[in-house]
A and B are shown apart, each in its own frame.
Chain A
Amino acid sequence: MLTFERWKITLVLIVALLGGVYAVPNFLARTTAESLPSWLPHKQINLGLDLQGGSHLLLEVDVAAVLAEQLETLVDEVRVVLRGAGIGYTGLGRSDEQVKLKLRDVTQSEATRPLLVEIDPSLEVKIYQDGSISIDVSAAARQERKVAVLSQSIEIVRRRIDETGTREPTIQRQGEDRILVQLPGIDDPERVKRLLGKTAKMNFKMVDEATPIEDALRGRVPPGSELLYMRDRLDDQAEARPIILRRRVSVSGDNLLDAQPTFQDNQPVVSLRFDNVGARKFGTLTKENVGKRFAIVLDGEVISAPVIREPIPGGSGIISGQFTVQSAQDLALLLRAGALPAPLTILEERTVGPSLGADSIAAGKIASVVGMALVIAYIIMSYGLFGVAAVLALTVNMALIVGLLSVLQATLTLPGIAGIVLTIGMAVDANVLIFERIREEVRNGRTPFSSVDIGFRQAFRTIIDANVTTLIAAVLLFQFGSGPVRGFAVTLGIGIATSLFTAIMFTRMLIVLWLQRVRPRTLPI
């Protein structure tokens, strides 16, 4: 029958009130909201990057490059071990996933196996009848390596971004080999992209003065040496000069303790400090090679190749390489944060400037208010007093949506605002279904009480069926969507839940209470 128990009324009112209370901070200035006493709700809706401005970057870690490098190292190790043991072989090399070679003397198979396994016990060594050998890195080891590379990359990315002073960055793993970076309120996304695009692997190598450049350019580089290029300026357009270096790394950038941008003779430079191991190596290198040149190599490019004038024992040095103030700062930052284990590729960028974000919020607010006003006017004109009940329900609905978004700290995006506006239009549907049903029952000659009772009951099933289908759409949007579209799915889903509550509980409560109080003979619907 048409009754609404007191506890139900209380419950409905409490829910509506909570929605309102949690929604309030969003209508205050941020500073005001944050200064509210802690027992009051003070969380505001989390704005998406498209509303507050910021950068969304999707990075891919080139794990394959690391695995290839790993195999390359393995080839070197195999060569050293077999040569040391005096075992002859041919065709040593690597394919995509394994190292292969063939023994010259098949009888040495048994002697070879322990030597190879000793390199790394996790290697899977297969020796065939004809003396050919394949060495696989086990799947588990490869997987382990992948995970390690990814988490190490995330760590380095985090350090680099923290160094730029970005507020509240989000850096998270995505899938097997991707990193999602979200940088709210960033003003120079180009710089961050530049910083993330560098592997920043730095090495010190000796210059090979013995080989003439002309020979090397014609492709005759002696083994143990390599041909690299040196730029006079660090920007990309400058001419690059060829230079020949010893392959062997004299001192590695891994041994750096600190790097700072500074000035020397009014030129921006980067000062370095090595750790103990690095300091010792650097000291020996400079002591033994006074008068010769060494090169500072960053990501396969020579930054500078100064002559060693005197031994440098203190473990600190200076890189001067025609820097600008900005590029010296960036290089110091990269060296401090450390090298990436693998190159990063930026797969996707979406940056929204703060002005567009602010405009979108303003436009979204106006659209919501106007949309709501139009709907309210139309509903009241169509349903009179019952329309007022529907409008009250709609208001509570809005408060609940805003309140829930704040409590859940869901992210509101521009499409999310569209979702809210759309909910305004569709939330009324449940009430429309009910009211039309009541009208029908009135036309069928029922009393006001029984019309309302039957109207609500009959419409209920339809409302559920209709809303479940929309909910399916929302869930799938969330599942397959990314970024802003997800935000849309969230508001849509929340909107469906709250409008079910307000239509079925809140409106019904208002109408039943009104019926009981007024006991009208005809319904004003």
Chain B
Amino acid sequence: MRRFRFVPDTFDLPFMSWRRVAFVSSLALITLSIILLVVRGLNYGIDFRGGILIEVKTPEVAQVASMRDSLSTLGLGEVTLQEFGAPDDILIRVERQDGGEKAQLEAVSLVKSRLEEDFGTGLDYRRTEFVGPKVGGELIAAGIKAVVSALLAMMAYIWFRFEWQFSLGAVAALLHDVILTIGMFAITGLEFNLATVAAILLIVGYSLNDTVVVYDRVRENLRKYKKLPIGDLLDRSINDTLSRTLMTSITTLLALLALYILGGAVIADFSLAMIWGVLVGTYSSIFIAAPSLILLNLRPSGPQKGSGSIDLETSV
């Protein structure tokens, strides 16, 4: 009996011949991300910016407009309201108050007492969070430290297990993923918070996982086919592992989709970031990590044909 296959057993796709297109479009996307990051910036959540977040469930469908009017007269600066997952569920964000920690605390009780005055006592405070300026700064520092040390640790591990070209190629792919993920947050305006940093670290982990599988096969094939030009060898390695890459990406995406759709509003942004990361990570293993090995002269010259063209390609 032949079983239905989602993914064919064997591939023979000329990935390396697409690498210029891939490099150029990746570079364009990276540039776009950086420009957006500079021009528009990120929509930082209270974890990093400090401020107040209150999620409140109203007995009936919430009157967002009148709530907004009522709260905007408190003189607390920017107050934004947003329906959160359900029409009776409202997310209130208040910008960081001047005057240190105590001012945040007072603003929280001010908002709560005003809501009770105007909208009765049937309110259910589902979440109250405030982050003072001090902690916000520390969380930013910790987040940056986490991502940078993750990149360094993984680079070191790859260096230890493979050759230096692999290590650089992997980090290039990881940087690509991190920048594009941050760019996605800049474009969509999704809130960038602690959970996002966690998502980025995971994307880094997932992407590297994928890259290692391809590299592992490259290393094996380097031993097996001593005379194959590097481009063909990379093509073969990617095609060898492609069915696995697709299988794993699809199962992970299935799980993440379930989480995104059914996991509740609190976790939805995190799931979305991860879904994006799986897509970008899979792409970068094939189109960034592998062709970087050509650029880095992994198999510079030797008995194989076409070695002359490799030098040309380094100027891409």
Q: A351 and B248 in contact (CB under 8 A), knowing A190-B109, A382-B5, A443-B9?
A: no
Q: Is B129 in contact with A482, judged by CB distance below 8 angstroms? A: no
Q: Is B244 in contact with A469, judged by CB distance below 8 angstroms? A: no
A398 to chain B, nearest CB (A): 12
Give the residues in chain A near B271, CB-CB below 8 Å. 418
The interface-forming segment of B67-75, B150-158, B175-183, B304-312 is B150-158
Q: A439 and B132 in contact (CB under 8 A), knowing A425-B255, A482-B139, A485-B198?
A: no
CA distance A470 to B241 in the complex (A): 19
Q: How does the 8 Å CB contact mask read for B263-306 relative to A, with 1 for contact and 0 for none?
A: 11011001100100000000000000000000000000000000
Interface range, B side: 35 or more
User: Is residue B194 within 8 Å, beta carbon to beta carbon, of the partner chain?
Assistant: yes
Q: Is A426 in contact with B266, judged by CB distance below 8 angstroms? A: no
Which residues from 131 to 168 on chain B have a C-beta closer than 8 Å to any C-beta of chain A?
Answer: 131-132, 134-135, 139, 142-143, 145-146, 149-150, 153-154, 157-158, 161
Which residues from 155 to 212 on chain B have a C-beta closer than 8 Å to any C-beta of chain A?
Answer: 157-158, 161, 194-195, 197-198, 201-202, 204-206, 208-210, 212
CA distance A153 to B89 in the complex (A): 38
The winner among B213, B247, B251 for most chain A CB atoms within 10 A is: B251
Give the number of A-B contacts (CB < 8 Å): 235
CA distance A407 to B126 in the complex (A): 30
Give the residues in chain B near A422, CB-CB below 8 Å. 202, 252, 255-256, 259, 274
Give the residues in chain B near A425, CB-CB below 8 Å. 248, 251-256
Give the residues in chain B near A372, CB-CB below 8 Å. 255
Which residues from 20 to 62 on chain B have a C-beta closer than 8 Å to any C-beta of chain A?
Answer: 55, 57
Choose among A347, A352, A382 the residue that contacts B126 (Cβ–Cβ < 8 A).
A352
CA distance A364 to B255 in the complex (A): 12
Q: A466 and B213 in contact (CB under 8 A), knowing A374-B258, A425-B255, A440-B240?
A: yes
Q: Is B198 in contact with A356, judged by CB distance below 8 angstroms? A: no
In the complex, 12 of the A-B residue pairs with CB atoms within 8 angstroms, ordered by the A residue number, are A347-B131, A355-B124, A360-B266, A374-B255, A374-B257, A381-B4, A421-B256, A425-B255, A426-B206, A433-B213, A488-B198, A492-B202
CA distance A421 to B260 in the complex (A): 11
A378 to chain B, nearest CB (A): 6
Q: Is B126 in contact with A379, judged by CB distance below 8 angstroms? A: no
Give the residues in chain B near A414, CB-CB below 8 Å. 264, 266-267
Minimum CB distance partner of A468 in chain B: B157
User: Is residue B13 within 8 Å, beta carbon to beta carbon, of the partner chain?
Assistant: no
User: Is residue A472 within 8 Å, beta carbon to beta carbon, of the partner chain?
Assistant: yes
Q: Is A432 in contact with B259, judged by CB distance below 8 angstroms? A: no
Q: A480 and B264 in contact (CB under 8 A), knowing A371-B259, A382-B5, A469-B154?
A: no
9 further contact pairs, Cβ within 8 A, besides A349-B128, A415-B270, A469-B208: A349-B130, A417-B267, A425-B254, A426-B209, A461-B216, A462-B212, A473-B204, A473-B205, A477-B201
Q: Is B240 in contact with A469, judged by CB distance below 8 angstroms? A: no
Give the residues in chain B near A132, CB-CB below 8 Å. none
Give the residues in chain A near B204, CB-CB below 8 Å. 473
CA distance A238 to B152 in the complex (A): 58
CA distance A492 to B274 in the complex (A): 14
User: Is residue B105 within 8 Å, beta carbon to beta carbon, of the partner chain?
Assistant: yes
Which residues from 79 to 127 on chain B have a C-beta closer than 8 Å to any C-beta of chain A?
Answer: 100-102, 105, 108-109, 112, 124-127
Minimum CB distance partner of A422 in chain B: B255
User: Is residue A19 within 8 Å, beta carbon to beta carbon, of the partner chain?
Assistant: no
Q: Is A472 in contact with B154, judged by CB distance below 8 angstroms? A: yes
Give the residues in chain B near A476, CB-CB below 8 Å. 146, 149-150, 153, 201
B315 to chain A, nearest CB (A): 31
Q: A421 and B209 in contact (CB under 8 A), knowing A346-B101, A414-B267, A465-B216?
A: no
Give the residues in chain A near B225, CB-CB below 8 Å. none
Give the residues in chain A near B209, CB-CB below 8 Å. 426, 429, 466-467, 469-470
Q: A378 and B254 in contact (CB under 8 A), knowing A189-B128, A356-B126, A436-B244?
A: yes
User: Is residue A367 within 8 Å, beta carbon to beta carbon, of the partner chain?
Assistant: yes
User: Is residue A405 within 8 Å, beta carbon to beta carbon, of the partner chain?
Assistant: no
User: Is residue A424 within 8 Å, beta carbon to beta carbon, of the partner chain?
Assistant: yes
Q: Is A466 in contact with B126, judged by CB distance below 8 angstroms? A: no
CA distance A372 to B258 in the complex (A): 9
Q: Is B198 in contact with A481, judged by CB distance below 8 angstroms? A: yes
